[in-house]
Each structure stands twice: as C-alpha cells, then as structure tokens.
C-alpha cells in the first residue's frame, strides 16, 4: 500500500515530510512493537514519548507516522526533528478516526483473505508432527504448525497461521483464531476462544466504528486456561500471556493485555484493554482491571475488587474494594461502615 492509497482512503491526511515516499507500507505498528515498513499513530505527547523511546528502531525500520495535526503544529523544534527522522510524516485532524479507517485495509491484507473453508491438511500446507493426536471433527487451517505429542480433541478449530507447541492439550470445542502462538505443555480447556476480535471502536457522528484488530495472541509455555474463557487478539501487536500463568474458568482477557510469568487469574475476573500484569500477580474471583492499568510484580487483588483505568500499583501491593486501594485500608473502611450501621440500628 502506497502513501497515495492512504490518502485516498483518508482524505484528511496531509503529507508534511517525504510526500513521495516510494516504499510499500506493509502494516500498522504498535508504538511498543515496531515492525518494518509500517505506520504508527501519534495522538498526543504521551504517544510521542512512547515513539521517542523506540525512535532509532522506528527509523531503521523505515516507519512512517500519522500525527495529530494540532499536536504537530504546536510541537517544539526537537519534537519536529524527531519526526523528521522517520520515513514520512502525515498529519490528521482526527487521529483516532484515521486509525479506525486505515485498520480495515491492513486487516483485509493480513486476515480478511485467509482460506478458512478448506482444511490445511487437504491443501498440504500444515506441518503436523507424526506423534500429534488429532481427533475427528477438528478443523486445521492453512500454514498451521503443530508440534510433537500435541492433543486436539473434537470440535476444535485451529485457524490459519497458528502454532501449537509440543505437548499442548487442546480440549473439545476450543477456537484458535489466526496468528495465534501457543507454547509447549499448555492446557486449553473446553469452550475457550483465543484470538477473537478486541472490543475497540471509535465513536464518530453517532456511530461506533470498528477498529479492525490483527495483532494475534502469544501464549508462552506451561500456561493453563480454564473453560469458556476469552483471550482477545491485540490491535496491531499480540496480546501476551507469560509462562506458567494459570487462568480459571470464565475469564476475559482483552486486546493488548500483557500478563507476566506465574500469574493466577481466578474465575470470572476481567482484564480490560492494554492493561499490564507483571509476574506472579494474583487476581481473586470477579476482580476487574481497568484499561491501561499497570499492576506490579507479586500484587494480590482481592475478589470483587476493581482497579481503575490507568492506575499504577507497585510490586507487592495488596488491594481490595472499588476503587481498589490498600487492602488493610479498605477493610478498615468496611469495618467502620458496618459499625456505624449497627449503631444506627441500635437507635431504632
């Protein structure tokens, strides 16, 4: 896709640097996950800082940027100099809308045209180790790789360009969307879906416009995921679950979430988009983590607690309540409310 193609799709774009850039633009990059010959979106100073941390990589990878018009016009000389190092730069009066519009053609290029009608074994494009056990009534898409001693039970669907590591056990009726990587010795229980679309929309002129996700999922070794869970694919970079993590039944893991090693996620908890859980975090049943929250290593979140959007908690925290706060502080508050309630009742 050429620069002129982007302008045809989104006429609001104004090219301000290298308007005749000749190379094809192959993908959209997340600011923390740069891929060659791609485009990134910079809405404000926060996103610029993320880009600045990867500027050398972005420059060497021939990445272009679509930048908020107002932010670019008010940018300092240093910020503009940083942008000038990129392959090309365009401005947009509405970066969120530009991202939404342009996500569709890149999605179509990567996922929309995949063959999901004919089993890859018939097409001769799968790589299945002879020791793998594949039950009847399993669909395996094209360009899927399945390692030694993998077991896939009836009703499961493994869509194209996915990879399943040695010794992993896929229980009945599991659905694995395209571009999912599952490590060695994992267990994925019945009814779970991995790699479904992230819940991302842009509200514009009275409509919720879909942001088309194509980032995939990466699940590392020795992970167990219970039944009827949902792990959404990343927007443009993978959703990640770290080695040795355990996920109970009925858990929702949204797009772009990063989960570290050895975490425990109890039943019915939910993690919203782009949240980060560092290593050995424990979420009690029905705990909720808001979007962009960052939970430090070894933190414990009590059942039913709700961590607010964008909250940052250091390693070793113990949290409870809504909004989540230090567990002891929350329990004192609960005890106080209870004591006051009992006093009021005694007056009746």
Which is catalytic among the residues 213, 255, 294, 322?
A: 255
52-70, pLDDT tens digit by residue?
A: 999 999 999 999 999 999 9
Angle between helix axes 45-52 and 77-84 (nearest 10 degrees) is 50
pLDDT in tens, 181-238: 999 999 999 999 999 999 999 999 999 999 999 999 999 999 999 999 999 999 999 9
Q: What is the DSSP letter of 126?
A: -
Does pLDDT of 305 surpass 80?
A: yes
Say whether pLDDT at 347 is over 70. Answer: no
| CATH superfamily, domain at 3-112 | MurE/MurF, N-terminal domain (3.40.1390.10)
Mean pLDDT of the chain: 95
The question of whether 255 is a catalytic residue gets the answer yes
Instruction: Tell me whether residue 235 is exposed, middle or buried, using C-beta atoms within 10 angstroms of its C-beta: 0 to 12, 13 to 18, 19 or more.
Output: buried
Q: What percent of the chain has pLDDT over 70?
A: 97
Rounded average pLDDT over 113-119: 92
Q: Is 283 helix (H, G, I), strand (E, B) or coil?
A: strand
Does 178 score more than 90 pLDDT? yes
Instruction: Please compute, for residue 20, the number of CA atoms within 13 A of its CA located in the half-sphere on the CB side.
Output: 0
CATH architecture of 120-329: 3 Solenoid (2.160)
pLDDT at 336 over 90: no
Predicted confidence (pLDDT) per residue in 84-108, tens digit: 999 999 999 999 999 999 999 999 9
Over the stretch 138-174, which tens digit does the pLDDT of each residue have?
999 999 999 999 999 999 999 999 999 999 999 999 9
Range list for CATH 2.160.10.10 in the chain: 120-329
What residue spans in the chain does CATH classification 3.40.1390.10 cover? 3-112
How far apart CA 329 and CA 317 sit, in angstroms, is: 12
User: Parallel, antiparallel, or unpaired for β 180-182 and 163-164?
Assistant: parallel
How many Cβ atoms are within 10 Å of 50's Cβ, its own excluded? Answer: 14
> DSSP assignment, residue 87?
S
Please determine, for residue 339, whether its predicted confidence score (pLDDT) is greater than 80.
no
Instruction: Tell me what pLDDT residue 342 has.
Output: 67
Banded model confidence at residue 275, pLDDT cuts 50, 70, 90: very high
């Amino acid at each position: 896709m050429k620069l002129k193609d982007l302008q045809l799709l989104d006429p609001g774009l104004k090219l301000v640097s290298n308007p005749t850039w000749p190379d094809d633009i192959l993908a959209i990059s997340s600011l923390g996950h740069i891929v060659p010959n791609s485009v990134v979106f910079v809405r404000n100073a926060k996103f610029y800082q993320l880009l600045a941390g990867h500027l050398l990589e972005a420059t060497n990878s021939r990445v272009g940027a679509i930048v908020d018009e107002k932010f670019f016009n008010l940018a300092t000389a240093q910020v503009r100099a940083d942008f000038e190092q990129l392959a090309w730069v365009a401005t947009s009066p509405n970066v969120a809308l530009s991202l939404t519009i342009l996500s569709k053609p890149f999605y179509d290029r990567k996922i929309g045209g995949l063959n999901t009608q004919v089993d890859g074994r018939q097409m001769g494009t799968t790589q299945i180790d002879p020791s793998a056990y594949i039950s009847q009534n399993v669909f395996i898409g094209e360009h899927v790789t399945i390692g030694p001693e993998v077991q896939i039970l009836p009703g499961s669907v493994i869509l194209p360009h996915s990879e399943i590591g040695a010794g992993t056990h896929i229980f009945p009726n599991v659905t694995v969307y395209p571009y999912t990587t599952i490590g060695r010795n994992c267990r994925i229980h019945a009814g779970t879906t991995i790699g479904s679309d992230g819940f991302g929309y842009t509200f514009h002129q009275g409509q919720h416009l879909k942001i088309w996700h194509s980032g995939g999922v990466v699940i590392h070794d020795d992970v167990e995921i219970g039944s009827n869970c949902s792990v959404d694919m990343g927007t443009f970079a993978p959703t990640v679950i770290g080695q040795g993590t355990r996920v109970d039944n009925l858990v929702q893991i949204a797009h772009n979430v990063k989960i570290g090693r050895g975490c425990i996620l109890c039943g019915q908890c939910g993690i919203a988009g782009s949240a980060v859980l560092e290593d050995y975090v424990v979420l009690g049943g029905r705990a909720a983590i808001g979007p962009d929250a960052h939970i430090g290593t070894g933190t414990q979140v009590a059942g039913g607690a709700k961590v607010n959007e964008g909250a940052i908690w250091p390693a070793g925290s113990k949290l409870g309540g809504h909004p989540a706060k230090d567990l002891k502080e929350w329990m004192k508050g609960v005890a106080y409310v209870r004591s006051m309630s009992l006093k009021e009742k005694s007056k009746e």
